[in-house]
Amino acid sequence: MAVEKILMPQLGESVTEGTIEKWLVEVGDTVNKYDPIAEVNTDKVNAEVPSSYSGVIKELVAGEGDTIEVGELVCYIDVEGGASEEKQQEESTDQQAVENVSEDKKEQPQDEDQPMKRRYSPAVLRLAQENDIDLEQVNGSGKGGRITRKDIQKVIDSGEIPAPKQEEKAPEPEPKQERKEAPKVPAPKPAPEASKGSDVPVSEGDIEIPVTGVRRAIANNMLRSKHEAPHAWTMVEVDVTNLVEYRNGIKDDFKKKEGYSLTFFAFFVKAVVEALKEFPQMNSMWAGDKIVQKKDINISIAVGTDESLFVPVIKNADEKSIKGIAREVKELAQKAKTGKLKGEEMQGGTFTVNNTGSFGSVQSMGIINYPQAAILQVESIVKRPVVMNNGMIAVRDMVNLCLSLDHRVLDGMICGKFLARVKENLETISKENTSVY
């Protein structure tokens, strides 16, 4: 038997660390390659970490609740036919040396001993800003003295938030050649009152529910979206009488033939995808000094469980029929509800379509799924009296489509044209000119 290392994998673009939410194995358990060994939470996704080898778990280096940087050790595994005993001893010695260096750096907070101290991940910056923590006064336990989210959480849990240092003003402007030092993090903005749970009184009989990793990630992402993206909203109402008649007429035969239901939502997603092809500006993201217009059309959809909200992605939705979209929505929803969604199935979304109508909602203003530029809420289909073009009043099946947009990326004119196209796509659906295959 040889000892191999399992490292924290890269679980998404720009993800630098992950928190071990739950170990799925114990020391002595036998696992196969690609078997899930731990549930990990990051800022972007809650996912399972697969084993890199087949073998027996030897040691769990990270504990539940520990935040580990990408590429760092999480556990050891005994593998048949691997490295020699000498190599194992060398690796063990190297690992001990790394741990000793890390411990030494905790005791020596000088900047020259911590070259990575001022390299902060987005999660660290956000958590520090929300809790008014001066990062210059936090000692990092990560590689090269880097401050991890675990370090910030430790400061928060201690209740001893270090006050910003008072710097003396220099009598003269600093020479240009002296300004090579890495810039300090700007003074954090006051955290919104909603994020300061310590101010909430707890009375007898109240139930305190611990915040799970998934719920914290959702909260952080929504807070970031709301604070960074200037939201604007617009809405159109759509007459989907023909769509309702068409779908209701074929749904029974479709289910018998395909084995799953043909939902209204699949028609709405298809109508949105066709409109995105005509108005690709809607399929964009804000990137600071530029706007990135995405080539692929990947539709994020919200799937709720009793405990969490997941946002899986229909990849290359423009290449799928209504039937294909309906099948993928069903499969992704089933995986979310059974805890089998993979990290890659929740990455890469470029535009979100949310089926709020499934809860009976008729009007809502969604928070944009950062860093996307827009989210469309599909509300409940309801029967309403409508004045027709001939002046007569008729009962029609109507639905509201509510669009939230990032005003840095999108303007009202392009969003109005986009919604008008979605409306037209839906109102022209019929048995004669629409195929689900």
Residues with catalytic roles = 407, 411
Nearest to 301 by CA among 358, 246, 260, 254: 358
CB of 77 within 8 A of CB of 101? no
CA–CA dist 147, 257 (Å, integer): 56
In angstroms, what CA-CA distances link 377 with 272, 301, 368, 404? 11, 10, 10, 8
Classify burial at 388, counting beta carbons within 10 Å of its beta carbon; exposed 0-12, middle 13-18, buried 19 or more: exposed
The string of DSSP codes covering 417-434 is HHHHHHHHHHHT--TTT-
- Distance between terminal CA atoms of the chain? 53
SS3 of residue 347 by DSSP: coil
Secondary element (H or E) of residue 86: helix 85-107
CA–CA dist 397, 243 (Å, integer): 9
Identify residue 377 by its one-letter amino acid code. Answer: Q
Question: Cβ–Cβ contacts within 10 Å for residue 253, how many?
Answer: 10
CA–CA dist 348, 162 (Å, integer): 38
CA–CA dist 351, 265 (Å, integer): 15
Burial of 293-322, coded b for 16+ CB within 10 Å and e otherwise, reads ebeebbbbbbbeeeebebbbbbbebeebeb
